[in-house]
Amino acid sequence: MMKILHIVGKMQVGGVETWLMHVLRHIDRRKYQMDFVVHATEPGFYDEEIRNLGSRLYPCLDYRHPFVYKKKLMQIFKEYGPFDIVHSHVFFYSGWVLRTAHQANIVGRIAHIHNDSPFLLKSRGFRYRLYSKLMRYFIRRHANLGIGVSQFALESFFGPNWSLDKRWNVLYCGIDLSPFYKKDKDRANIRHALGLDSCDIVVGHVGRFSYNDQKNHKFWIQIAREIHKRNPRIKFLLIGDGPLRKDIEEQVYRYKMKDKFIFAGIRSDVPDLMKGAMDVFLFPSKYEGLPLTIIEAQAAGLPIVMSDIITREVDVVPELIKRVSLNASPGYWAEVVLDLLDNRKSMPSPDEALCRVEKSSFNINKSVEGLLDFYDNLLKQA
């Protein structure tokens, strides 16, 4: 059995973690053992399922103190190994993780790039930029495979000539499409459970309320306010949780729109909510590697208005997508959303959109197949 150790912050609901769960559910667990190092002791959303599927979680704290962290990670390698592969998903910090894995003589060392870096580097100070430079040096020195969720993510991390290094490869993260085929819940029941009427028009979003406001929730609410001015009957559904949520709820309260918003929290039935509750998907993120929520929205057949920083590699059903500059006003964003709602009938049907996603590289079966090929080839070469 091949033993793979994934390094993540916490197995909470998020793009990286959800994709890893899709992988864990679909691999042959008799041949591949996937375990997880997490940087928190508080339970994550997926922890119980991970254990039920036969995998283990190893807390490794003090990541802000690199040498303490290194000692603890070495102990995990020694006590629970040997591991064939260390697969790190913690962005720049992967440099320190893979340096430690190399020193522990682990032959497979993977850095997985899930985000683009320029925005982060511009928004941080000199110390952070110095740290990122050192960590990228460690990754180049100690990784024998680098995986990017998109060409855009790899270019932003390693530069425009990233493809000259044969270690760096693109693997599109796939999603499990089976929930999008389910017919057991109808639109009326889903909406009733949320307090919505069947005739309500709903603008939706899925994303973590993080302090760095990656998903641009504050701007999202400004757009919603402009939409409300133009059509007071439209309602808004936000799925997700995080430390910024309270601030966003207060912003909604200040705008006197509380009765127009539903904060659904963390949900395991996102496909049902996309299909049954949403009419358009609004996604003005500040930075992304390749957001899986956009793939899910296309699988649900939703029209999408999103920021123009998002790579076009995500366009499986381009007729559903409108890109808008983050420099545009909230009012302009609102007009694009309303125009898209008015033209839904001219777009591909949900069944056609789902069929296209199924045939694409974002199908979880193709994604898992590609990942396991990487694992097998990496160990053969090592």
The pLDDT confidence band at residue 116, using thresholds 50, 70 and 90, is confident
pLDDT of residue 328: 98
- Stretch 261-281: mean pLDDT: 95
Whether residue 275 is predicted with pLDDT greater than 70 in this model: the reply is yes
The answer to whether 105 and 144 are in contact (CB under 8 A) is no
Pair 152, 245 in one domain: no
pLDDT of residue 198: 86
pLDDT of residue 345: 85
Spatial neighbors of 166 by CB under 8 A, at least 6 apart, are: none
Q: Which domain holds residue 28?
A: 2-174+363-381
| Least confident residue range of 55-69, 109-123, 211-225, 300-314 | 109-123
pLDDT of residue 243: 94
Whether residue 370 is predicted with pLDDT greater than 60 in this model: the reply is yes
Pair 209, 317 in one domain: yes
Whether residue 123 is predicted with pLDDT greater than 80 in this model: the reply is no
pLDDT of residue 358: 96
pLDDT of residue 184: 55
Strand order in the sheet with 235-239: 261-265, 235-239, 202-206, 280-283, 304-307, 321-324
Pair 290, 221 in one domain: yes
Instruction: Indicate the residue type of 147.
Output: I
Percent above pLDDT 70 for the chain: 98
Radius of gyration of the chain, Cα coordinates, nearest whole angstrom: 21
The pLDDT confidence band at residue 373, using thresholds 50, 70 and 90, is very high
Pair 51, 121 in one domain: yes
pLDDT of residue 77: 98
In angstroms, the Cα distances linking 24 to 17, 33, 107, 176, 371 are 10, 9, 22, 11, 12
pLDDT of residue 187: 85
Instruction: Count structural domains, the chain.
Output: 2
- Stretch 332-344: mean pLDDT: 95
Spatial neighbors of 79 by CB under 8 A, at least 6 apart, are: none
Pair 137, 272 in one domain: no
> pLDDT averaged over the chain?
94
The pLDDT confidence band at residue 254, using thresholds 50, 70 and 90, is very high
Residue-wise pLDDT tens digits, 64-114: 999 999 999 999 999 999 999 999 999 999 999 999 999 999 999 999 999
pTM: 0.91
Whether residue 350 is predicted with pLDDT greater than 80 in this model: the reply is yes
Pair 16, 155 in one domain: yes
Residue-wise pLDDT tens digits, 3-56: 999 999 999 988 899 999 999 999 999 999 999 999 999 999 999 999 999 999
Helix (H), strand (E), coil (C) string for 211-258: CCCCCCHHHHHHHHHHHHHHCCCCEEEEECCCCCHHHHHHHHHHCCCH
pLDDT of residue 344: 87
Pair 202, 127 in one domain: no
The structure tokens listed for 245 are 């949520």
Closest by CA position to 314, among listed 143, 89, 151, 177: 151
The answer to whether 265 and 241 are in contact (CB under 8 A) is yes
Q: How far apart are CA 337 and CA 284, in angstroms?
A: 12
In angstroms, the Cα distances linking 85 to 7, 143, 167, 380 are 11, 11, 15, 12
Percent above pLDDT 90 for the chain: 88
Return the half-sphere exposure (C-beta side, CA atoms, 13 A cut-off) of residue 198: 4
Q: Which H or E run includes 59? A: strand 57-59
Complete DSSP assignment for 249-312? HHHHHHTT-GGGEEEEES-S-HHHHHHHT-SEEEE--S--S--HHHHHHHHTT--EEEETTS-G
The answer to whether 296 and 223 are in contact (CB under 8 A) is no
What CATH code is carried by the domain that includes residue 317? 3.40.50.2000
The pLDDT confidence band at residue 185, using thresholds 50, 70 and 90, is low
Whether residue 175 is predicted with pLDDT greater than 80 in this model: the reply is yes
Pair 130, 266 in one domain: no
Pair 10, 116 in one domain: yes
Pair 186, 313 in one domain: yes
Pair 200, 323 in one domain: yes
Burial of 307 (0-12, 13-18, 19+ CB in 10 A): buried
Pair 148, 24 in one domain: yes
The answer to whether 109 and 145 are in contact (CB under 8 A) is yes
- 359 compared with 183, residue with greater pLDDT: 359
